[in-house]
Structure 1
Amino acid sequence: MINEHCSQSTSLRVLLVGDARMAFPVAKALNQAGHWVFAGVSTSSNYLEWSRHVAASFRHSPLEPGTDEALPVILDWLDRTPVDVIQPVSEAGSRFITRHRAAFEARARLIMPEAETVETCMNKTRMFELCETLGVALAPHRRVRDMTGLHAAAAAIGYPLIVKPAVVDAELFERKALIIADAGQLAVAMPSWPEIHPELIVQKYVAGPRHSVIFSADQGRLLGAVEIKAARTHEYDGTGYTTYGVTVEPTHLVREGVEKLVAHLAYSSTGCAQFIVCPTSGEVTFMEINPRVSLGRISECAGLPHSVWGLKLATNQAITAPADPWAVYRRGVRYVWTKGDLTLLGKQVKRGQVRPGEALRRLTQIGVDAAQCVHAIFDPLDPLPALGAYSNILIKRWRRRPEYRPDWTPVSRVPTPEPVRSDPDWTHSSARG
């Protein structure tokens, strides 16, 4: 394991943007490394503001479903409380920062890849073309723009197949993707074209778990990577967010694909590359690269200090990385998002999709995993956020609604000094003012 904690010579002020489970390991790692962590939170927050690793927080409107109502509040807070670095910690946060990148870059460094890299990664069509050029494992696919093209692609590729948006993190009928078994199911699942999508991707369905590679890279040089197999997700068909995962030995085609893509993109920052690996045939297919932090809890516990590395990359600090970026992490580290497991089981029981005996068996397994695995949110030394998340149904009515107040003054456990610069050439809006 590489220990980057407490190696910083200066304490930086970091703002986390986005309400997501990914925020908790980032806040913990950066706070333990000696930095001040601040958070913008909304009523959909997983109680990040209750974490002992967050020095102060402020409220804003939810970033979902992609609105910009929170922008004036966040910018006003930044102007009143300067920070050194800003990091998006959710899908919505990443999209939000990307839409207003210039405004945020004028106020602080960003822990995310360059704008061109983000744009490429967010476009699945371009990434699929890149995979074909570089020889990265990819199942047969077609791009379609209407129902005629959809049915033609289905006939050419054959069933089962998967239909998904051409944009990373977008949804199709409130799902990440649609797994289609036959023509009858296609007619039911997609009776008409979803006007919100100018283009969709139809691809051969490869049966198997999703393998996510959490990585850090500097100008295309891979610094460290962790491969995680998702054994369960919060959707019954394997799509959706990981609820149970385990770190595994690198899969050859996955490792090769990540290295080729990271090098070609000259990727700098942290990220998450996703593949599907069939456990019987060994077939592998690329899914996407999310240019943001993801599955941070398990990767941090497995030995990849990607939160600290992301901060160092953003502030031009040196990183001592191993010769083999795949050799640093522990195999067999298990991760669980218990609330996601329980939510899915509850929905299936309510709909009559699970028999009582099977429900009891799964509930028992969820309990065993909860006692033995690394948790998405729960930390015995920082328990309040998890208590809030599980008791939300009882206390959410008392949660203060966000409101924009131009005269708002932050209440913090720490003073508000001028930000500490990580290099003498970094200009900041407040310094220029």
Structure 2
Amino acid sequence: MGINNKQITTQNETILLLGNYRPTLALAKQFKGEGYKVIAGLEGWEGGAQYSKYVDSIWDHPDTAKSPDAFLQALLSFCDEQKVSIVFPVAEEFVRLLAKNTEIREQLPPVVLVSPTLVEQCLDKFGMLSRCTKLDVPTAPYGTATSMPELEEVLAIIGYPAVIRPEASTVRINDKKAITVTSKEDLLAQLPVWPASQGMLICQAFASGLRHNAYFAAKDGKVFRFLHAKILRTDVPDGSGLAVEGITLDADPTLRRYTEALVADMNYTGIGCAQYLVDDETGAISFLEINARIAGNHCVPEATGLKLGQILVDLALNKSLDTTSITGKGGMRYAWFSGELMGIKIALLRKQLSAKQAVSSLYLAVVTALRADLHMTFSWQDPKPGIMALFRVVPSPARIIQRVCAPISNIFKKSFSKGTHQQ
């Protein structure tokens, strides 16, 4: 493992971004513009930081999932060798790892994190749901299970349909963030045995509606930055995946009030993203979670002037925070085109979409991309990451020719073989 230098520039300070995901691109652009030398970790697949002109070099490090201890030791050495000034964990797996490893964290340069205590509180999904009950923040009936018998018992109490998700949001269940079951028979069809990778599953009664994100920054439990965004579609047909289309809204006072109540109760200092399900027809609201980190669609609050990345850095450097009150405006459409294409491709391969549905979805993806004001991984100023993301989805011309020609070649082979046999 080592560093792959793309472009060495002389900078006063170096910032290391951990997690090669969508927000890494927005952060790299921001910090490069501020004069930092930007290094990005290679682990991750969404962002394409290795292709960005705002990233000076890439660090290919040990896998955090397979070798967390090896990664942490490599991180210590790398920061020393490269004279890293700031460590910025972007993706959740890095936030989790550095939040719980106090001894390692104290040996590193300033680490850009919300308080590890707050990180742990937000990661405790059951604890957050209990907090909502205490504060009268609405959430669908819920329970937890650690075995199949417990799971069936909990679902019998809260009723069907229900949503089942892992306690840890970085873990998947059937390759999804969550699954929806409509009956006991459906449960056994989707989850015939307890998944070996799961310690605890959280079950909630199904709540209809679309996901709404409340991006915020707070100091001592008081919110001073806020943006309300609505996720219109995700990369999974059932709506449980990552956002591929959304729109910012004028801040809903009810969602803001609920977010402020939770933030105040936690005496929250830092940035975060509170998520809710909102039924457009009935107005019913159900709390989902708070992510105490940079969100996947980080470029959305940044485009509306919230400057959440800078707030986190100022906290890490013990600088006084700019607590100017800013509320992001509504009406900005955003899209993640390559993410949607990958979602369509996966759904088609898994037979979750028919060929006709896939064509309709592709058409909608193109229309969405053309009318979007903001793209998650593409910009005209730095186009290569977005272009390379498309290459990951679309087969190369040689591969397409091979797939088209293979059936024709087989027909000729069969015809030739048949003719030879008859002779």
SS of 1:210's partner is strand
* Offset, 1:194: 2.5
CA distance in 2, matches of 1:215, 1:305: 10
1:30 aligns with 2:31: yes
Unaligned runs of 5+ in 2: 1-10, 397-423
Q: Which amino acid aligns with 1:338?
A: F
1:375 maps to what in 2? 375
8 A Cα contact 2:272 2:292, kept in partner: yes
CA distance in 2, matches of 1:317, 1:335: 32
1:270 aligns with 2:271: yes
The 5 Å alignment of 1:104-115 reads: 104-115=105-116
TM-score (norm 1): 0.82
The 5 Å alignment of 1:305-320 reads: 305-320=307-322
Q: Deviations over 1:221-279 (max 9, x none)?
A: 21212121111111111111111111113334321221111122222222221111111
Q: Deviations over 1:164-215 (max 9, x none)?
A: 2223333223221111112211111222222433322211110111111222
1:202 maps to what in 2? 203
* Offset, 1:313: 2.2
1:125 maps to what in 2? 126
Structure with the larger helix share: 2
Q: Flag the 1:154–1:25 CA change in 2: closer, same or farther, 3 A.
A: same
CA distance in 1, matches of 2:149, 2:53: 55
8 A Cα contact 1:269 1:314, kept in partner: no
1:91 maps to what in 2? 92
1:362 maps to what in 2? 361
SS of 2:79's partner is helix
Q: Which structure has the larger Rg?
A: 2
8 A Cα contact 2:24 2:47, kept in partner: no
Q: Flag the 1:269–1:331 CA change in 2: closer, same or farther, 3 A.
A: same
1:302 maps to what in 2? 304
TM-score (norm 2): 0.84
Q: Flag the 1:164–1:42 CA change in 2: closer, same or farther, 3 A.
A: closer
Q: Deviations over 1:327-378 (max 9, x none)?
A: 5312011111111211122233345544454433322221122223211111
In terms of mean alpha carbon deviation, does 65-74 or 239-248 score higher?
65-74
Q: Which amino acid aligns with 1:26?
A: L
1:400 maps to what in 2? none
* Offset, 1:383: 1.4
CA distance in 2, matches of 1:190, 1:153: 15
Q: Deviations over 1:379-400 (max 9, x none)?
A: 111112222322347999xxxx
Q: Flag the 1:253–1:71 CA change in 2: closer, same or farther, 3 A.
A: same
| Bigger relative contact order, structure 1 or 2 (CA pairs below 8 A, ≥6 apart) | 1
1:416 maps to what in 2? none
8 A Cα contact 2:112 2:313, kept in partner: yes
Seq. identity, %: 27
2:79 maps to what in 1? 78
SS of 2:327's partner is coil
Q: Flag the 1:357–1:342 CA change in 2: closer, same or farther, 3 A.
A: same
SS of 2:328's partner is coil
8 A Cα contact 1:18 1:63, kept in partner: no
* Offset, 1:220: 1.8
Q: Flag the 1:76–1:149 CA change in 2: closer, same or farther, 3 A.
A: same
Q: Flag the 1:299–1:220 CA change in 2: closer, same or farther, 3 A.
A: same
CA distance in 1, matches of 2:134, 2:119: 19
Q: Deviations over 1:394-420 (max 9, x none)?
A: 999xxxxxxxxxxxxxxxxxxxxxxxx
2:334 maps to what in 1? 335
SS of 1:74's partner is helix
CA distance in 2, matches of 1:393, 1:281: 38
1:219 maps to what in 2? 220
Q: Flag the 1:348–1:125 CA change in 2: closer, same or farther, 3 A.
A: closer
Q: Which amino acid aligns with 1:333?
A: M
CA distance in 2, matches of 1:158, 1:35: 53
